[in-house]
Each structure stands twice: as C-alpha cells, then as structure tokens.
Amino acid sequence: MVRDWSVSHSLDGFKVRLFEVPRTARWLTSLVYFFDRITNCQLCGAKSPELFWKIPLGRPRRDDEGFLENSLAGGMYGLFNRAVAYEWRREVVRLEFPVSDEVGRDLWGEDALGLFEDEEE
C-alpha cells in the first residue's frame, strides 16, 4: 500500500485527506500519466488532432447534432479516465479533517492564487 495525502476545497472550506492505495493502482495511474505527457496530452484527448475526433471506432454512431459518438479521441479519453479512476476507486481514506483557509491555501500551492480571488473581495 502507498500512503498519500491530498487537499481539497469545497463550500465547507479546505480539507486534508490521508489515504492509502494499492501499489498496482498507483503504478497504473503513473504509467497512464507518463504516456499522456510523452504524447503531449493526446491520450486524454485534450490535444488530440481534429482527425482523431473524426475516425470512428467500429460502426459510426452520431448524436442528434451530427457529432461522432465513438471517435478514436473519445475512446482514448474514456480509456484514460477508466485507468485513472482505477486508483480512485481503490483508495481507502484513513483520516479526513478540515483546515483553516490560510493553511489550506498554503498546502494547495501557487495554483490557488487565481482560484480564490473572489472570496477575498
């Protein structure tokens, strides 16, 4: 088991979670993120070329607006999310507790600077 922690923010404020996940789940998540980084975010579909959204996987299925429902990029996006969710579904929360806004922002890091500007005004 791998022990880890995370910080989250919701309407209730900041919370710190201490949890454990199986090593195999962490390894799979790390592997998927590695492949996503070396393919320049094409695995998750974020930066997939336009062509990938037009290649059907199997018989083409289109929604009411004419968009392809079973595209190659959509399939890669689904596979990416299932692989990442594998770890999330297997995590066991050992402890969760609220922290003050000041501590939460310090733990969250520099990314929090733009997220919480509305609350300070």
**Average pLDDT by stretches of 10, the chain with 121 residues:** 90 92 91 85 78 86 86 85 89 94 84 56 50
Residue 117 domain flag: no
What phi, psi does 43 have (nearest 5°)? -65, -40
Residue 57 domain flag: yes
Residue 118 domain flag: no
Q: What is the pLDDT of residue 119?
A: 53
Residue 42 domain flag: yes
Q: What is the pLDDT of residue 94?
A: 95
Q: What angle, 0 to 180 degrees and rounded to 10, lies between the N-to-C axes of helices 72-90 and 23-38?
A: 150
Query: Cα dihedral angle (42, 32, 106, 4), rounded to 10 degrees?
Result: 170
Residue 121 domain flag: no
Domain count of the chain?
A: 1
Structure tokens at 63: 């929604």
pLDDT digits (tens, 9 = 90+) for 34-51: 888 888 887 777 788 888
Structure tokens at 67: 């968009």
Q: What is the pLDDT of residue 110?
A: 67
Q: What is the pLDDT of residue 84?
A: 85
Domain that holds residue 37: 2-110
Residue 69 domain flag: yes
**Torsion 95-101-107-111 (CA) sign:** positive
- 0.95 exceeded by the pTM? no
What phi, psi does 16 have (nearest 5°)? -110, 130
Residue 116 domain flag: no
